[in-house]
Protein backbone atom coordinates (compact mmCIF):
# COMPACT_ATOMS: atom_id res chain seq x y z
CA UNK A 1 0.00 0.00 0.00
CA UNK A 2 2.64 2.42 1.05
CA UNK A 3 4.76 1.39 -1.88
CA UNK A 4 1.83 2.07 -4.23
CA UNK A 5 1.23 5.57 -2.88
CA UNK A 6 4.88 6.28 -3.30
CA UNK A 7 4.76 5.15 -6.91
CA UNK A 8 1.69 7.24 -7.62
CA UNK A 9 3.38 10.32 -6.19
CA UNK A 10 6.42 9.59 -8.26
CA UNK A 11 4.31 9.34 -11.43
CA UNK A 12 2.54 12.60 -10.60
CA UNK A 13 5.85 14.30 -9.97
CA UNK A 14 7.42 13.05 -13.19
CA UNK A 15 4.30 13.79 -15.21
CA UNK A 16 3.92 17.33 -13.93
CA UNK A 17 7.57 18.24 -14.33
CA UNK A 18 7.48 16.89 -17.85
CA UNK A 19 4.32 18.88 -18.59
CA UNK A 20 5.96 22.04 -17.31
CA UNK A 21 9.10 21.32 -19.27
CA UNK A 22 7.04 20.68 -22.39
CA UNK A 23 5.21 23.98 -21.94
CA UNK A 24 8.49 25.82 -21.67
CA UNK A 25 9.76 24.04 -24.75
CA UNK A 26 6.60 24.89 -26.65
CA UNK A 27 6.96 28.56 -25.77
CA UNK A 28 10.47 28.59 -27.18
CA UNK A 29 9.19 26.51 -30.09
CA UNK A 30 6.59 29.12 -30.99
CA UNK A 31 9.27 31.80 -31.02
CA UNK A 32 11.52 29.73 -33.26
CA UNK A 33 8.60 28.78 -35.47
CA UNK A 34 7.81 32.46 -36.07
CA UNK A 35 11.46 33.37 -36.53
CA UNK A 36 12.04 30.43 -38.84
CA UNK A 37 8.96 31.12 -40.92
CA UNK A 38 9.83 34.78 -41.36
CA UNK A 39 13.41 33.82 -42.12
CA UNK A 40 12.44 31.33 -44.83
CA UNK A 41 9.90 33.72 -46.35
CA UNK A 42 12.07 36.79 -46.06
CA UNK A 43 15.57 35.67 -46.83
CA UNK A 44 14.93 35.05 -50.53
CA UNK A 45 14.06 38.70 -51.14
CA UNK A 46 16.91 39.93 -49.00
CA UNK A 47 19.97 41.24 -50.80
CA UNK A 48 22.33 44.18 -50.74
CA UNK A 49 19.88 46.33 -52.73
CA UNK A 50 17.33 45.91 -50.00
CA UNK A 51 19.53 47.96 -47.67
CA UNK A 52 20.69 50.56 -50.19
CA UNK A 53 17.86 51.16 -52.66
CA UNK A 54 14.58 53.05 -52.56
CA UNK A 55 11.36 51.10 -53.14
CA UNK A 56 10.59 50.33 -56.77
CA UNK A 57 7.09 50.45 -58.25
CA UNK A 58 5.22 47.28 -59.17
CA UNK A 59 6.61 45.34 -62.09
CA UNK A 60 10.20 46.49 -61.70
CA UNK A 61 12.61 44.03 -60.21
CA UNK A 62 14.83 44.96 -57.29
CA UNK A 63 14.42 47.94 -55.06
CA UNK A 64 14.74 48.00 -51.33
CA UNK A 65 13.67 49.66 -48.14
CA UNK A 66 16.76 51.72 -47.35
CA UNK A 67 14.63 54.81 -46.69
CA UNK A 68 12.36 52.87 -44.33
CA UNK A 69 15.27 51.42 -42.37
CA UNK A 70 16.87 54.85 -41.92
CA UNK A 71 13.43 56.31 -41.23
CA UNK A 72 12.76 53.81 -38.47
CA UNK A 73 16.09 54.70 -36.82
CA UNK A 74 15.35 58.42 -37.02
CA UNK A 75 11.88 57.93 -35.55
CA UNK A 76 13.25 55.80 -32.72
CA UNK A 77 16.00 58.36 -32.10
CA UNK A 78 13.42 61.12 -31.87
CA UNK A 79 11.25 59.00 -29.61
CA UNK A 80 14.20 58.19 -27.32
CA UNK A 81 15.35 61.79 -27.15
CA UNK A 82 12.37 62.74 -25.05
CA UNK A 83 11.03 59.46 -23.67
CA UNK A 84 14.32 58.36 -22.08
CA UNK A 85 14.88 61.44 -19.87
CA UNK A 86 11.18 61.70 -19.08
CA UNK A 87 10.72 58.02 -18.36
CA UNK A 88 13.87 57.57 -16.28
CA UNK A 89 13.30 60.71 -14.23
CA UNK A 90 9.68 59.76 -13.58
CA UNK A 91 10.84 56.26 -12.61
CA UNK A 92 13.36 57.70 -10.15
CA UNK A 93 10.63 59.84 -8.63
CA UNK A 94 8.32 56.86 -8.22
CA UNK A 95 10.94 54.66 -6.65
CA UNK A 96 12.60 57.20 -4.37
CA UNK A 97 9.92 59.77 -3.56
CA UNK A 98 6.75 58.13 -4.74
CA UNK A 99 5.35 56.77 -1.49
CA UNK A 100 2.47 59.23 -1.50
CA UNK A 101 -0.81 60.05 -3.20
CA UNK A 102 0.90 61.58 -6.25
CA UNK A 103 3.12 58.54 -6.64
CA UNK A 104 0.15 56.18 -6.58
CA UNK A 105 -1.64 58.30 -9.15
CA UNK A 106 1.39 58.43 -11.45
CA UNK A 107 1.92 54.69 -11.12
CA UNK A 108 -1.72 54.04 -11.99
CA UNK A 109 -1.54 56.45 -14.92
CA UNK A 110 1.62 54.75 -16.23
CA UNK A 111 -0.06 51.34 -16.06
CA UNK A 112 -3.09 52.68 -17.89
CA UNK A 113 -0.84 54.24 -20.51
CA UNK A 114 0.93 50.92 -21.07
CA UNK A 115 -2.40 49.31 -21.89
CA UNK A 116 -3.52 52.12 -24.19
CA UNK A 117 -4.06 50.83 -27.73
CA UNK A 118 -1.34 52.35 -29.88
CA UNK A 119 -3.80 53.57 -32.51
CA UNK A 120 -5.29 55.86 -29.85
CA UNK A 121 -1.85 57.41 -29.34
CA UNK A 122 -1.67 57.92 -33.10
CA UNK A 123 -5.03 59.69 -33.23
CA UNK A 124 -4.14 61.78 -30.18
CA UNK A 125 -0.91 63.00 -31.79
CA UNK A 126 -2.75 63.52 -35.07
CA UNK A 127 -5.14 65.97 -33.43
CA UNK A 128 -2.49 67.54 -31.22
CA UNK A 129 0.40 67.96 -33.67
CA UNK A 130 -0.49 67.00 -37.24
CA UNK A 131 -3.62 69.13 -37.54
CA UNK A 132 -2.14 72.38 -36.13
CA UNK A 133 1.08 71.87 -38.14
CA UNK A 134 -0.98 71.26 -41.27
CA UNK A 135 1.02 68.26 -42.25
CA UNK A 136 2.36 64.84 -41.33
CA UNK A 137 5.90 64.84 -40.00
CA UNK A 138 8.70 62.77 -38.57
CA UNK A 139 8.40 64.77 -35.35
CA UNK A 140 4.78 63.73 -34.89
CA UNK A 141 5.73 60.10 -35.51
CA UNK A 142 8.63 60.29 -33.06
CA UNK A 143 6.46 61.76 -30.32
CA UNK A 144 3.79 59.11 -30.86
CA UNK A 145 6.38 56.35 -30.47
CA UNK A 146 7.87 58.16 -27.48
CA UNK A 147 4.50 58.20 -25.72
CA UNK A 148 4.30 54.44 -26.16
CA UNK A 149 7.79 54.06 -24.68
CA UNK A 150 7.47 56.37 -21.66
CA UNK A 151 5.28 54.22 -19.38
CA UNK A 152 7.37 51.10 -20.01
CA UNK A 153 10.58 52.95 -19.18
CA UNK A 154 9.05 54.61 -16.13
CA UNK A 155 7.78 51.39 -14.62
CA UNK A 156 10.95 49.36 -15.27
CA UNK A 157 13.15 52.15 -13.90
CA UNK A 158 11.02 52.20 -10.75
CA UNK A 159 11.05 48.43 -10.32
CA UNK A 160 14.76 48.14 -11.01
CA UNK A 161 15.66 50.85 -8.51
CA UNK A 162 13.36 49.38 -5.90
CA UNK A 163 15.16 46.05 -5.90
CA UNK A 164 18.48 47.66 -5.02
CA UNK A 165 18.89 46.55 -1.38
CA UNK A 166 18.19 49.15 1.26
CA UNK A 167 21.53 48.26 2.90
CA UNK A 168 23.39 49.74 -0.05
CA UNK A 169 21.57 53.05 0.29
CA UNK A 170 22.15 53.01 4.02
CA UNK A 171 25.84 52.33 3.49
CA UNK A 172 26.09 55.38 1.23
CA UNK A 173 24.10 57.58 3.58
CA UNK A 174 26.17 56.41 6.54
CA UNK A 175 29.27 57.67 4.78
CA UNK A 176 27.71 61.12 4.79
CA UNK A 177 26.70 61.14 1.16
CA UNK A 178 23.69 63.27 0.38
CA UNK A 179 20.49 61.65 -0.72
CA UNK A 180 20.58 63.00 -4.29
CA UNK A 181 24.16 61.83 -4.68
CA UNK A 182 23.23 58.40 -3.32
CA UNK A 183 20.44 58.04 -5.85
CA UNK A 184 22.51 59.33 -8.74
CA UNK A 185 25.84 57.62 -8.05
CA UNK A 186 24.94 54.53 -6.08
CA UNK A 187 21.40 53.37 -6.73
CA UNK A 188 21.04 54.39 -10.38
CA UNK A 189 24.28 52.78 -11.62
CA UNK A 190 23.42 49.58 -9.78
CA UNK A 191 19.99 49.51 -11.37
CA UNK A 192 21.28 50.50 -14.81
CA UNK A 193 21.50 47.06 -16.46
CA UNK A 194 17.86 46.44 -15.59
CA UNK A 195 16.84 49.90 -16.72
CA UNK A 196 18.63 49.46 -20.02
CA UNK A 197 16.86 46.15 -20.55
CA UNK A 198 13.60 48.00 -19.96
CA UNK A 199 14.60 50.68 -22.44
CA UNK A 200 15.41 48.03 -25.02
CA UNK A 201 12.03 46.42 -24.41
CA UNK A 202 10.38 49.78 -24.98
CA UNK A 203 12.40 50.41 -28.15
CA UNK A 204 11.59 46.95 -29.42
CA UNK A 205 7.91 47.55 -28.85
CA UNK A 206 8.01 50.98 -30.52
CA UNK A 207 10.06 49.71 -33.47
CA UNK A 208 7.31 47.32 -34.49
CA UNK A 209 4.39 49.71 -34.15
CA UNK A 210 2.44 50.57 -37.29
CA UNK A 211 -0.79 52.01 -35.96
CA UNK A 212 0.58 55.16 -34.28
CA UNK A 213 2.62 56.00 -37.38
CA UNK A 214 -0.20 55.76 -39.93
CA UNK A 215 -1.58 59.18 -39.09
CA UNK A 216 1.59 60.84 -37.83
CA UNK A 217 4.68 59.90 -39.84
CA UNK A 218 2.48 58.84 -42.79
CA UNK A 219 5.33 57.22 -44.73
CA UNK A 220 7.47 58.40 -47.60
CA UNK A 221 8.48 56.75 -50.85
CA UNK A 222 11.71 58.70 -50.95
CA UNK A 223 14.50 59.71 -48.62
CA UNK A 224 13.33 61.96 -45.81
CA UNK A 225 13.58 65.64 -46.52
CA UNK A 226 13.53 67.12 -43.06
CA UNK A 227 11.89 66.35 -39.75
CA UNK A 228 8.85 68.49 -40.61
CA UNK A 229 8.04 66.19 -43.54
CA UNK A 230 6.56 62.69 -43.72
CA UNK A 231 9.07 59.92 -43.18
CA UNK A 232 9.21 56.25 -44.07
CA UNK A 233 9.27 53.53 -41.43
CA UNK A 234 9.76 49.78 -41.72
CA UNK A 235 6.41 48.71 -40.23
CA UNK A 236 4.54 51.15 -42.47
CA UNK A 237 6.32 49.89 -45.56
CA UNK A 238 5.67 46.28 -44.57
CA UNK A 239 1.99 47.08 -44.06
CA UNK A 240 1.61 48.83 -47.41
CA UNK A 241 3.32 45.99 -49.25
CA UNK A 242 1.53 43.22 -47.40
CA UNK A 243 -1.92 44.46 -48.39
CA UNK A 244 -1.01 44.87 -52.07
CA UNK A 245 -2.06 42.24 -54.62
CA UNK A 246 1.47 41.72 -55.96
CA UNK A 247 3.76 38.77 -55.27
CA UNK A 248 7.04 40.69 -55.42
CA UNK A 249 5.73 43.26 -52.95
CA UNK A 250 4.70 40.45 -50.62
CA UNK A 251 8.25 39.09 -50.83
CA UNK A 252 9.59 42.55 -49.95
CA UNK A 253 7.20 42.74 -47.01
CA UNK A 254 8.56 39.43 -45.68
CA UNK A 255 12.11 40.66 -46.11
CA UNK A 256 11.16 43.86 -44.28
CA UNK A 257 9.72 41.83 -41.41
CA UNK A 258 12.93 39.83 -41.23
CA UNK A 259 15.07 42.98 -41.14
CA UNK A 260 12.85 44.47 -38.44
CA UNK A 261 13.20 41.36 -36.28
CA UNK A 262 16.95 41.24 -36.82
CA UNK A 263 17.27 44.91 -35.87
CA UNK A 264 15.30 44.46 -32.66
CA UNK A 265 17.10 41.23 -31.83
CA UNK A 266 20.48 42.78 -32.60
CA UNK A 267 19.67 45.75 -30.42
CA UNK A 268 18.83 43.64 -27.39
CA UNK A 269 21.81 41.32 -27.88
CA UNK A 270 24.10 44.35 -28.14
CA UNK A 271 22.78 45.78 -24.89
CA UNK A 272 23.12 42.47 -23.12
CA UNK A 273 26.70 42.41 -24.33
CA UNK A 274 27.41 45.97 -23.19
CA UNK A 275 25.87 45.55 -19.77
CA UNK A 276 26.94 42.01 -18.94
CA UNK A 277 28.91 41.00 -15.89
CA UNK A 278 28.71 44.33 -14.16
CA UNK A 279 27.01 44.17 -10.83
CA UNK A 280 27.47 40.84 -9.22
CA UNK A 281 25.10 41.27 -6.33
CA UNK A 282 22.25 41.48 -8.80
CA UNK A 283 22.66 37.82 -9.62
List, as one string, the DSSP characters of 25-94.
HHHHHHHHHHHHHHHHHHHTT-SHHHHHS----TT------HHHHHHHHHHHHHHHHHHHHHHHHHHHHH
First to last CA, the chain: 45
Which among 122, 121, 100, 125 is positioned nearest to 112, based on CA atoms? Answer: 121
Find the binder of other proteins among 38, 46, 55, 122 (CB under 8 A). Answer: 55
Q: Which one of 2-10, 28-36, 56-64, 147-155 is the stretch in contact with other proteins (CB under 8 A)?
A: 56-64
When asked if residue 274 is in the footprint of other proteins (CB under 8 A), the reply is: yes
When asked if residue 214 is in the footprint of other proteins (CB under 8 A), the reply is: yes
Q: What is the largest CA-CA distance in the chain?
A: 82
Find the binder of other proteins among 77, 117, 165, 266 (CB under 8 A). Answer: 77
Find the binder of other proteins among 225, 269, 272, 282 (CB under 8 A). Answer: 225
Q: Which one of 2-10, 152-160, 171-179, 220-228 is the stretch in contact with other proteins (CB under 8 A)?
A: 220-228
Burial of 136 (C-beta count, 10 Å sphere; 0-12/13-18/19+): buried
Interaction residues for other proteins, span 176-205 (CB under 8 A) = 189, 192, 196
| Site residues, other proteins (CB under 8 A) | 55-60, 70, 73-74, 76-78, 80-81, 84, 130-131, 134-136, 138, 142, 189, 192, 196, 214-215, 218-227, 229-231, 236, 240, 242-247, 271, 274-275, 278
Amino acid sequence: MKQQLYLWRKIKDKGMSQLIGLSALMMVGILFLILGYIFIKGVSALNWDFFTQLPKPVGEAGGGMANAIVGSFILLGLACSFSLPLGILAGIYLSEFGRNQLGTTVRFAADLLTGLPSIVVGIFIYTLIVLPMKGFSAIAGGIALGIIMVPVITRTTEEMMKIIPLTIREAALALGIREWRTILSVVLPAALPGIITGIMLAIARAAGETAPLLFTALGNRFWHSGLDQPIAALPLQIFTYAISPYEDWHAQAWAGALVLIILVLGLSIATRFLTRGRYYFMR
